Structure 1
Amino acid sequence: MPKPVPRYHSPEFPEGITRSAFRRLRREQKIEVMRSWFGQHYEDPAQRTPYESAEGGYQWIWGGPYDAREELESEFGGLAPQKLIEELVEELEQEGTKWAPTPSDGDYDDERDDRDEYVPDADEEWPPVVVDQRPEVDPLDAIANKIEFGLIPKYGSREELAARDVILKDIKKVEEELDRLNKPSSMMGHNNPPEPIEAEATEATVVTEDDEKRKIKAVVADIRTEIKSDAPDVTNVVTSTRHLRDSLIAVLKWSGKKIDTGIDEFIKSVMKTLGISATPFILAKAIGHYDALIGAIGSLYLNLLHWLQLMMSIQL
């Protein structure tokens, strides 16, 4: 008689257990095994499911949306008490009510190890370079989706309040750098006069930059108002953070830095180049005409993301 194949795995049972063994588990162990099983098969659609507002929201190209209750009852109905299933469903629905399948081997055709599916490089060498085609998850979209699904922000913890204090310090730093750049002397070199620039081009550039600086100042003022509130409006903060990111892109362009990757990874890489850690709560000295402003805005942006993710309990 063939030996039963382990069906369920969890941190406590990495080798897996059979259905019969599952029945003999304690209450807490059953919930943990069911939770692990669900996480192995389903994920928050914000992780990788394409989202198109014009098309009505998520595009369920890999299947779904799935309902946690239906899937758990289908797998564990008659195996676990209904009360335990309901308890886990209630917990999962605090995170979301619609679920997508976790990645499978067939999700990304470009990643299949099938030689006949590839075209050799121009030098005829094998294998060719394959570009990862998986969609990049915008962390602000992930947070906005959590709000749309009805997840309630968690205010008042020691960590959350500490994160707010860091944001307020970042805002002050951004405003200081804007004030510095607005002084006429900030446009001069350390030892030499500025390079000659055609008058027409200079005028157009100054107008554009001044408008953007005013926009940044207004955005950080809005963020300060929300952060100082007892219960900040997360939707407003997400919107302001998007505006802040757009402004950071504009400043990066002024500084002549080329954006050739995902904006969030690019922000982190630029800050690293400037000697500024991308880890929340850490600031370091930056140099150059716009580098200090880039560092201040970049730090504020990353710490806003950290605070939003902390409150919405999102891991990105």
Structure 2
Amino acid sequence: MKFYTADYPDGIRAEHLSEAVSDTDLDLLKEIFFQFYEDPQNQLPYDKENEWGYLWIYGGPYYTSEAVDDLFGSYLPEETLDRLISELESVCAVWSPTPDDHPDGSESFDEEPTSTDDAREFVRSAAQQVRARVEALRNHPPGIGHNHPPEETEQTEAPLTNADLDEVSAAAGALEYAAADAPADASTASRALSVLRAASAKIRGYADKFIVAAVTAAGARFGLGEGELWIALKTSIDDLVSATSKWMELLNLPF
């Protein structure tokens, strides 16, 4: 997983961030953060009836601690994270993802890997992304991004149960482990892909209903925050399925 900045045009790996950040200068981290999150007033349409006064068309809102943990939580010591959160909170209380956000700072999955090493890295990044999205859904607080949907959507159930989310997270974890430390195993990949594809199909049906309801309500009172989290999870799952399939293909393994 790499981040690209003015000082690191060729990218800096996430696990090397702690070595590049000084005790007093967090500019590198802030430069990366602003690639993925921004003040909602920059681009979001204003809606006085919606959460925090904006229509959250790109997902969110996210508290500073959530956004910082999403990007850097696995790579930086707690004291550095706390200082970064404090500095960012002096700028804005909640954040919107930027329109071209690639969650977790990972490379875009639009470009297919051409080597098995690249494919492993794509799988690891995509798996981490899926697990982060699952945790975001589990931790999504009531009332954030949810403002009493229109009557016709009040009974809409979540597309995945807690047990389903556990399976998705476990499948992503198995693929992350396989890509990081273990020999490639076609049977493990096949089982994980089956779980992920089933979850993606369930969310797709929910996403269709969500989009229709959001358009009908003009977004003013629909729970965009939670709906966007589900859609983001589906996108991340699809990225992981694609990355894993390409990895198996490069290894000439049946799956």
TM-score range, shorter chain: 0.3 to 0.5
Bigger relative CO (Cα 8 Å, ≥ 6 apart): 2
Q: What's the TM-score, normalizing by structure 1?
A: 0.34
Rg larger in structure? 1
Q: What's the TM-score, normalizing by structure 2?
A: 0.42
